[in-house]
Amino acid sequence: DAPFEAVLAAAGEAGLDFVVLTDHADVELPGPLPGIEHAGLHVAPNGRSVLVLVGAEFASRDGHLLGLEIDQTIPAIGRPGREVIAEIHVQGGFAVVPHPFSHGGWRDWDADFDGMEVQNNASDFTRLYGPLLPFRVLRFAFDREKQLENLWVRPTRELAEWDALLAAGRRVSGFAGADAHNNVSL
């Protein structure tokens, strides 16, 4: 958990125009979104303007959903994804399906979501290394370049699903996510 100032500084140094801050928000009652005070346009220490979008990840019955550009949390546990998406839209937000084929996956492809992650670092890491992680670390010591090359593979299944949605006439934006929280451990 990096402080907001560190995130803003890193975004500025990386030359990013915007960052999206989300965390899990499994709640029973609606309430203010954690981190909402950081939403808006900020100036990084290097002088670069960075737009900060704030949202949350909700665990619905159909899988996880990111609600972006919302102000309030949404009770989602055990509820159909369509209901959660509708509540995100009522708040004027954007509903995104994260990690569609890992970490529980997504089950309602006909739902009215606005975007999907076609690349997710945590999913890639789990798919590539899983129980082989100790061996990959050892191989890294001997062949650093090859192991770094192998780290990034084309997310074929995610891209195929996105292509199918677009071919069916759906307007679904593609996202890439870092999914940078404590979900990778040794």
pLDDT in single tens digits along all 186 residues of the chain:
678 999 999 999 999 999 988 888 888 888 899 889 999 999 999 999 999 999 999 999 999 999 999 999 999 999 999 999 999 999 999 999 999 988 888 999 999 999 999 987 776 666 666 666 677 777 777 887 877 676 667 888 999 999 999 999 999 999 887 776 554 433
Backbone angles phi, psi at 178, to 5 degrees: -80, -30
Structure-block tokens of residue 25: 């928000």
pTM recorded for the entire structure? 0.81
Residue 11 confidence (pLDDT): 94
Strand partners, 95: 67
Pair 105, 59: CB distance under 8 Å? no
> Residue 43 in 3-state DSSP?
strand
Give the DSSP H or E segment for 116: strand 115-120
By C-alpha distance, which of 95, 55, 98, 99 is closest to 73? 55
What is the C-alpha to C-alpha distance for residues 118 and 133, in angstroms, rounded to an integer? 23
Residue 102 confidence (pLDDT): 83
Residue 186 confidence (pLDDT): 36
